[in-house]
Amino acid sequence: MKINIAIDGPSAAGKSTIAKILAEKLHYAHLDTGAMYRCAAYHALHSGVNMSDEDALANMIRDMEIRFDPHGNVFVNDLDVTKQIRTNDISMHASNVSTYPKVRQELVAMQQEIAKNKGYIMDGRDIGTVVLPDAELKIYMVASTEARAQRRYKEYIEKNIVAQYDEIYRDIEKRDYQDSHRAASPLRKADDAVEIDTSNMTIDEVVEKISGLLDTIHR
């Protein structure tokens, strides 16, 4: 029987990379919930919605369509925004809009609806604590700020996105603070989550570690 797996942690800890690989290996679906907050920020920016107006943002989300294709591409109302939502600018705007309870309420409802039939690996900040409190396996993935900034920098360069290491480092610190200090569902390790520090681990080692944890669960 399929289960749901929650992976939470600060930005650039490796959540999405690991979730994607695990999903392929287990024939599960992957939902990158951060991409949904990014889509909300992107759409607000490009449709002139005031990003300080909580109600306007919530209404906008209710009226927009966020869609993922099987290759991991992301669409807002049929517009491919896969690359556009990964800029440093959108990262910060996404963190800002994610502080609003009404924005979270809309996106969390969508996420819960998607995962109700199990078989999902969902990554984000509040999956184990709020979105899927009953997930059978919860991982809390962390890594040092240096390791995370290095990874993000490399990722940007590989994707031909203009990037500066110092700026990425500062933005990660800023987002860490904001994501873990906001009043509405801040980033927090669920009591029953397993913490994995990926600073000095390869991707394969992290996948192996989680696969080992899965083997201990009766499925």
Residue 57, phi then psi, degrees to nearest 5: -65, -45
Please identify which residue in 34, 58, 153, 206 interacts with ligand DC, judged by CB under 6 A: 34
* Interface with ligand DC, residue 94, by CB under 6 A: yes
DSSP 8-class letter at 87: S
Q: Which of 19, 23, 42, 98 binds ligand DC (CB under 6 A)?
A: 98
> Torsion angle, CA of 30/66/11/182, rounded to 10 degrees?
-120
Considering only 37, 42, 100, 153, the residue that binds ligand DC (CB under 6 A) is: 37
Find the shortest distance in angstroms from Cβ 154 to ligand DC. Answer: 16
Helices (H) and strands (E) in the chain, counts: 8, 8
Binding of residue 125 to ligand DC (CB under 6 A) = yes
According to CB under 6 A, which one of 4, 95, 129, 198 is a site residue for ligand DC?
Answer: 95
Binding mask 39-78 for ligand DC (x = CB under 6 A): ----------------------------------------
Specify the stretch interacting with ligand DC by CB under 6 A; choose among 43-51, 122-130, 136-144, 201-209.
122-130
CB neighbour list of residue 62: distance below 8 Å, 6 or more residues apart? 106
For ligand DC, which residue of 30, 38, 151, 152 counts as binding (CB under 6 A)?
Answer: 38
Least Å distance, CB 47 to ligand DC, is 19
Radius of gyration of the chain (CA): 16
Question: Hunting for tokens 């696969």 — which residue is that?
Answer: 211
Rounded to a whole number of angstroms, the minimum distance from the CB of residue 139 to ligand DC is 14
Closer residue to ligand DC in complex, CB, 112/219: 112
Minimal CA–CA distance to 142: which of 4, 14, 5? 14
Q: According to CB under 6 A, which one of 58, 139, 172, 179 is a site residue for ligand DC?
A: 179
DSSP 75: E
| Residue 206: strand, helix, or coil | helix
| Nearest CB to ligand DC, comparing residues 3 and 123 | 123
Q: How many CB atoms lie within 10 A of CB 173?
A: 14
Name the token pair of 77. 């109302």
Selected from 121, 124, 147, 196, the binder of ligand DC by CB under 6 A is 124
Q: Give the burial class of 111: count Cβ atoms within 10 A of its Cβ; 0-12 exposed, 13-18 middle, 19 or more buried.
A: buried
Interacting residues with ligand DC (CB under 6 A): 11, 33-34, 37-38, 91, 94-95, 98, 124-127, 175, 179
